């Protein structure tokens, strides 16, 4: 039961992080993927932040 609750809480936290960073907006994601046009690097910063948070937990 604890594992299920932990998964639900972490999933909710992840969802809130995506919403706060604006990554639920399709135009933001398309702007990141459009490297030949008007590139939006904000998704790279969100990903970098997630990696920094996750890194201490990697064995």
Mean pLDDT score of the chain, rounded to an integer?
A: 86
Q: What is the pTM of this model?
A: 0.57
CA-angle at 57, arms to 13 and 8, nearest 5°: 25
Considering its fold, how many domains does the chain have in total?
1
- Per-residue model confidence as pLDDT tens digits over 10-23: 889 888 988 888 88
What angle (nearest 5°) sits at the alpha carbon of residue 47, between those of residues 44 and 51? 135
Query: Structure tokens of 7?
Result: 């998964």
Q: Which residue has the tokens 């590139």?
A: 39
* Domain ranges, residue 34: 2-57
Which pLDDT belongs to residue 59?
61
> DSSP label at 9?
H
């Amino acid at each position: 039961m604890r594992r299920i609750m932990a998964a639900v809480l972490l999933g909710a936290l992840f969802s809130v992080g995506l919403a706060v960073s604006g990554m639920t907006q399709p135009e933001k994601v398309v702007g990141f993927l459009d490297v030949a046009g008007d590139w939006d690097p904000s998704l790279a910063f969100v990903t970098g932040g997630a990696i920094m948070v996750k890194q201490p937990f990697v064995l």
